Amino acid sequence: MKTLECNLLILGAGPGGYVAAIRAGQLGLDTIIVDGQAPGGTCLNVGCIPSKALIHAADEFEKATHNVGGNILGIKAGKPSLDLGKTIKWKDGIVDRLNKGVAGLLKKNKVKLLVGWGTMTDGKTCVVETKDGPVKVTAKNVILATGSEPVEIPSLPFGDKVICSTEALSLETVPKKLVVIGGGYIGLELGTAYAKMGADVTVVEALDTILSLYDAELTKPVTLSLKKLGVTILLGTKAKGLSQAGEGLVVEMPDGSEQTLAADKILVTVGRRAKTEGFGLEGLDLTMAGRFVAIGDRCQTSMTGVYAIGDLTGEPMLAHRAMAQGEMVAEIIAGENRTFDKVCIPAVCFTDPEIVTAGLSPDEAAALGYETKIGIFPFAANGRAMTMEAEQGFVRVVAREDNHLVLGIQAVGKGVSELSATFALALEMGACLEDIAGTVHAHPTQSEGFQEAALKALGHALHI
């Protein structure tokens, strides 16, 4: 067996792993990164990037449909058609370009990429099954960045009609009837996209609300949009399994009765779990936190020289969290003094309209004992939003009542994902309401809603 030695071995080339590798290479660390697929992980290959491409295509198709026969803008167009196979090919082209870009960055920084399935045999050794045979890698330091995988429902194993988000991003035709199990962000992002492309979509959610991680104020505009698209939402409803004839999904309604929902495809999006199997984790002496690998504020595990980052370490399962952790760990291994002490990790839900959260919600702040001042500014009073037909939604600022320190910022509306960096920066810099209110915001932009929300919390909003 061929043997390689290095300073740093990274298992998993997703956002956290490849960023760690690039930074390690920049710092002069002899680094090997291992993955069984193209670099980029779930996010780049079958998650964040391809789903946003599909969402954009769906938005463009809906926009064209909106113009059939004329509209309030005076635009009139003929009936559009959609070649989903061509859309998927375009999406795949974006993924391929990014794959090559990541591979190029790894090469540029003298990182060796081993393509193959890696299995840890101890805390310093990994055996990689490559196309040319097994390769043994020994390292002084190891970063585990294996990511996560979709949760499967035992009564609805993936295959044929039952699909996960990966298959949903590679369909050749739009299903006439799509049933989505799970009313979280993945299910609603993809369900909304397919509804815009013409599918008859039904969402089955066991809880009594969709997007349960968000409060009712933030989810109300999304619910209204789904209803406008014709999406049926069944709350308090449990998925049981395929019908006997296999033509649809059997569900248990809130009253206990059973009903069969006709479906060409059944998309299961009930969550993701840390990928803890198949790479030798059971042979490592690591302290676990439930299903996750337990880490400290330097991403150090219970084994010396072994670090873990990203989804493997728990919530929030977000690519940008993994990236920040990966960069930090590379610098720690290189001798720098770093800890993970972020004030907030912003999260974006790419539904229609989009939702952004950063820091504490009003309920979370209250639960921690804070007396708060809250300012909400609706996009219905924002000139830029009006000109974009994007009046649904608002910006909300949560601050301490005593010193006006901003604790959290949330927004729901068209394109608000691009405000996420502004919100996170304000929190990281320790901004007070007066800092935001006193910052000149360009006009006309949706970002003015942020300033106005701060002004509202201070008691003197100017445009409402």
Q: Which neighbouring-strand residues pair with 235?
A: 205
Q: How many domains are there within the chain?
A: 3
Residue 228 burial class via C-beta count within 10 angstroms: exposed 0-12, middle 13-18, buried 19 and up? exposed
Let me know whether 329 and 454 are in one domain.
Answer: no
User: Are the beta carbons of 144 and 312 closer than 8 angstroms?
Assistant: yes
Same domain, 12 and 108: yes
Catalytic residue among 320, 404, 441, 443: 443
- Which pLDDT belongs to residue 71? 87
Q: What is the CATH number of the domain that holds 264?
A: 3.50.50.60
> Which DSSP string corresponds to 237-296?
-EEEEE-TTSSEEEEE-TTS-EEEEE-SEEEE-S-EEE--SSSSGGGS---EETTEEP--
Q: What's the confidence (pLDDT) of residue 431?
A: 98
pTM: 0.96
Query: What does the pLDDT read at residue 94?
Result: 97
Quick one: pLDDT at residue 245? 86
Asked if 270 contacts 183 with a C-beta cutoff of 8 angstroms, the reply is no
HSE, side-chain direction, 13 A CA sphere, residue 453 = 25
Domain final residue pick, 221, 255, 270: 270
Q: What is the pLDDT of residue 53?
A: 97
Q: Distance between CA atoms of 183 and 386, rounded to whole angstroms?
A: 29
- Spatial CA neighbour of 289 closest among 317, 310, 313: 313
The pLDDT value recorded for residue 132 is: 94
Structural domain contains residue 34: yes
CA nearest to 261, candidates 247, 274, 273, 278: 247
443 has catalytic annotation: yes
Shared domain check, 266 and 169: yes
Q: Are residues 254 and 240 in the same domain?
A: yes
Indicate if 18 and 127 belong to the same structural domain.
yes
Task: Tell me: do 41 and 103 sit in the same domain.
Answer: yes
Q: At what angle do helices 15-26 and 84-108 cross, to 10 degrees?
A: 30
Residues 52, 32 share a domain: yes
Residue 463 maps to a domain: no
Considering the domain boundaries, does residue 340 fall inside one? no
The pLDDT of residue 377 is: 98
- Distance, in Å, from the CA atom of 263 to the CA atom of 168, rounded to the nearest integer, reads 14
- Domain annotation covers residue 92: yes
Q: Which of 251, 270, 289 is the last residue of a domain?
A: 270
**Could you tell me if 397 and 374 are in contact, meaning their C-beta atoms sit under 8 angstroms apart?**
yes
Q: Are residues 264 and 239 in the same domain?
A: yes
- Identify the pLDDT of residue 246: 84
State which residues form the domain around 263.
162-270
Is the domain of 262 the same as that of 280?
no
In a domain, 288, yes or no: yes
Residue 5 sits at φ, ψ, to 5 deg, of -120, 145
CA distance 391 to 382: 8
Q: Rounded to whole angstroms, how far apart are CA atoms 93 and 314?
A: 31
Domain assignment present for residue 20? The answer is yes
Tokens of 264: 């060409």
What is the CB neighbour count within 10 angstroms for residue 422? 18
For residue 418, the domain's CATH number is 3.30.390.30
pLDDT at residue number 104: 97
The series of mean pLDDT values per 10 residues for the chain, 464 residues long, is 96 98 98 96 95 97 91 92 97 97 98 97 97 97 97 94 96 97 98 98 98 97 97 98 92 97 97 96 94 98 98 97 98 97 97 98 98 98 96 98 98 98 98 98 98 98 94
- Tokens at 255, concatenated: 């009253």
Distance, C-alpha 309 to centroid of its chain: 16
Domain boundary pick from 270, 288, 311? 270
Tell me: do 136 and 18 sit in the same domain.
yes
Q: Facing residues of 413 across strands?
A: 354
According to the model, what pLDDT value does residue 91 have? 97
pLDDT of residue 207: 97
What is the phi/psi pair of residue 232, to 5°?
Answer: -90, 130
| 163 close to 184: Cβ distance less than 8 angstroms | no
Cis before residue 15, ω within 30 degrees of 0? no
Instruction: Report d(CA 228, CA 24) in Å as an integer.
Output: 49
Q: Are residues 392 and 440 in the same domain?
A: yes
Round to whole Å and give the CA distance between 426 and 359.
10
Based on the fold, state whether residues 258 and 279 are members of the same structural domain.
Answer: no
First to last CA, the chain: 71
- Per-residue pLDDT, 255: 97
Q: Decide if 156 is inside a domain.
A: no
